[in-house]
Amino acid sequence: LVASLFQRVLQARGHQVWLAADGRQALEMLRAREYDLVISDVKMPGMNGTDLHGELRRLQPILADHTIFITGDTVSRETRQFLEQAGVPHLTKPVDLDAMEQAVSQMLKRRKQVHG
């Protein structure tokens, strides 16, 4: 439900957005076509955001560097360590939609500058 809201907001602001139900489906989608960035929750059933990011690092390191994480868990040491090690932006739940758009715009701008 929340992902659908993010999708509608980002599409209304001119972005093309595809949704995956979980980390495994996202990985399948990422293998099938190119994407400019990934927005992922840290905690997901099945393959969580940590595992997804690890697979991205292995398969598509550029895309791994262009990932934005969403989390409601900034208290746990494990989550904090992961976000620090990943070195990519994260947004805290509840997510401010303007902050999300700003993070997406900055990430896309950075990707364009670095990778053309």
Q: Which tens digit of pLDDT belongs to each residue from 22-71? A: 899 999 999 999 999 999 999 988 899 999 999 999 999 999 999 999 99
Question: CA–CA distance from 31 to each of 4, 24, 60, 82 (Å)?
Answer: 22, 11, 9, 23
Rounded to 10 deg, the angle between the 97-115 and 2-12 helix axes is 60
What is the reported pTM?
Answer: 0.92
Q: Which residue has the tokens 């990707």?
A: 111
**Torsion 77-82-85-90 (CA) sign:** negative
CA dist., res. 97 & res. 8, Å (int): 11
